[in-house]
């Protein structure tokens, strides 16, 4: 069972602001989801290889060369805040 403190910590890790009122509702909902998930605990999976991917294909390698065109202007035209080709964020270092 997740405590309210755990929910606050997870929300912090997920960079998601959660108000105390939301946290109380989330606690109930997330614990409901984990109750389904906890069915897995009783299954003996010793010796089973984890399946991370449906196909057994290896990750492909490609040549180390530039294949993308420069689309900076197009991509930055939809950014919330840019200046001189740079993305603007609040000041991080005083």
Residue 39 in contact with other proteins, rule: CB under 8 A: yes
Number of shown-chain residues binding other proteins (CB under 8 A): 51
Residue 11 backbone phi and psi in degrees, to 5 = -60, -35
Instruction: Let me know: does 34 contact 2? Beta carbons within 8 Å.
Output: yes
Closest CB 84 distance from other proteins, rounded Å: 16
Q: What is the largest CA-CA distance in the chain?
A: 58
Alpha helices in 17-71 (DSSP H): 20-37
**Interface residues with other proteins (CB under 8 A)?**
2, 6-7, 10-11, 13-18, 26, 29-30, 32-41, 43, 45, 48-55, 57, 59-60, 62, 71, 74-75, 77-81, 87, 89-92
């Amino acid at each position: 069972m997740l405590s309210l403190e755990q929910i606050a910590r997870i929300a912090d890790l997920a960079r998601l602001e959660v108000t105390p009122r939301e946290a109380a509702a989330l606690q109930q909902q997330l614990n409901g989801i984990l109750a389904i998930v906890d069915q897995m605990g009783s299954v003996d999976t010793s010796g089973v290889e984890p399946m991370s991917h449906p196909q057994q294909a290896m990750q492909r390698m490609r040549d180390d060369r530039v294949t993308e065109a420069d689309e900076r202007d197009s991509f930055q035209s939809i950014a919330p805040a840019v200046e001189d080709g740079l993305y603007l964020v609040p000041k991080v270092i005083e």
